Amino acid sequence: MFNRPFSRGKFRKYQKFHSNRRLSNGHNQRSKKTVNPSLYISKADIAPAEEMAAVKNKFTDFRIDQRLKQNIFNRGYSIPTPIQDQAIPHILSGRDVIGIANTGTGKTAAFLVPLLNKMIQRNNEKALVVVPTRELAVQINSELKFFSKSLNIFSVLVIGGASINRQLSELRRNPHFIISTPGRLKDLVNRQFIDLGSFQNIVLDEVDRMVDIGFINEIKFIISRLPKVRQSLFFSATVPIEVSNIIHSFLRNPVTVSVKVTETVRSIDQDIIRFKNKEDKIEKLQELLRREEYKKVLVFGRTKWGVERLSRHLSENGFSVASIHGNKTQNQRLKALNLFRLNQLQVLVATDVVARGMDIEDVSHVVNYDEPESYTDYVHRIGRTGRANKSGKALTFVG
């Protein structure tokens, strides 16, 4: 049952309240460095093929609808990635699954393909996909649209930074998929716009990242309101103790699929840049960006304010640059990402909102202008380059 949509004034108060709450929970707070700089240094070493998990199937081998197979083929896929190869059969058989894999390994298709097949067979099925960031939600929704073409299967994004009234309107259409971030989802559940008890299929994706950025209470809230009879899918790159506790409350007799081989992508050259002071730091960054090989550069900063200042400074000095951080609207963030993807920007300056799960082709360099708060964050940041068996470079500024 739906309540009336927010008025503009009420929605602004809602945004302000949740922004202040996230800050009070420790979001975007600067913490002491915890990473030994020596871990930022490593020469590229392409892993030999025999170290990768063997793939046993083709997409044509899976017991899925022929129309779905055609959409997969039209997307350019024929051979599944290891996580897809191992997870899809278990999900098709109805098992709960724990998927452990590095970012950029094809986890999205690993759960979308079998869930879409289930909905083709039973049109009353509904799926909830919960992810840590708006950008990842948008990316998953985009993939879903490709795979579900002409199947009459619909989805809605339930995320912050976008029109809540539009989301409520789309929810009234009773979509098959809701793809959501935890904060907005919890709020709409509390307001009785979404009934979590009506979802037979649940996906928690990038769970370790959701815990890292302070959504553990929202995750517990969501799990507590799910129906007992459901299929639950859990994907994470790491399993710290908080995530392990979530697993026990979320999954029933799960099968674990792990294709994680190494902590970092071996195809990435990693090094550090020493700097003396703020002026030296910005000068060295600009010197790097003027080099010909720095064609598509993702620069990470720790705070939204620092990211915005850096982006403006680079723009004033002649670089084609945009920024992404928590103070940007969803449209501004998507526009910046799309321009970067289309090679219309040389530099994208961002907080860790784009460090996980984002698939951006041909990023030549990742530059950690501010050091990450943890080694796990470092791994995910540099994972934006050196993708799809291509080489990449990652540089970290160390004072």
pLDDT tens by residue, 190-220:
999 999 999 999 999 989 888 877 899 999 9
* pLDDT (average), residues 321-330: 89
Cβ contacts of 165-170, under 8 Å, gap ≥ 24 = 165/5, 165/6, 165/11, 168/2, 168/5, 168/193, 169/5
- Domains, the chain, in order of start with CATH, read 31-46+263-398 (3.40.50.300), 52-258 (3.40.50.300)
pLDDT confidence band for 388 (50 / 70 / 90): low
pLDDT over 80 at 56, yes or no: yes
For residue range 345-383, what is the model confidence (pLDDT) as tens digits? Answer: 999 999 987 766 677 888 999 999 999 988 878 888 888
Q: Which of 29-38, 239-248, 294-303 has the highest mean pLDDT?
A: 294-303
Q: So what's the pLDDT on residue 15?
A: 45
Average pLDDT over residues 47-70: 80
Mean pLDDT score, 287-294: 96
Cβ pair 115, 272 in contact under 8 A:
no
Task: Report pLDDT for 52.
Answer: 53
At 316 the three-state DSSP class reads helix
- 47 pLDDT band (50/70/90 cuts)? very low
Greater confidence, 100 or 387?
100
Give pLDDT, residue 389.
63
Model pTM score = 0.70
pLDDT of residue 16: 45
The pLDDT of residue 157 is: 96
In this model, does residue 29 exceed pLDDT 50? no
Predicted pLDDT of residue 382: 87
Residue 345 pLDDT = 96
- Helix or strand holding residue 178 (H, E): strand 177-180
Instruction: Say which residue the tokens 């950029």 belong to.
Output: 104
pLDDT confidence tier of residue 53, bands split at 50, 70 and 90: low
Question: Residue 59 to residues 56, 67, 77, 120, 162: CA-CA distances in angstroms?
Answer: 10, 12, 8, 17, 35
pLDDT at residue 45, rounded to an integer? 61
% residues pLDDT > 90 (the chain): 61
pLDDT surpassing 70 at residue 175: yes
Classify residue 47 by its DSSP letter: P
For residue 21, pLDDT beyond 60: no
CA-based nearest residue to 357, from 140, 55, 34? 140
Predicted pLDDT of residue 209: 82
Q: Is the pLDDT of residue 44 over 80?
A: no
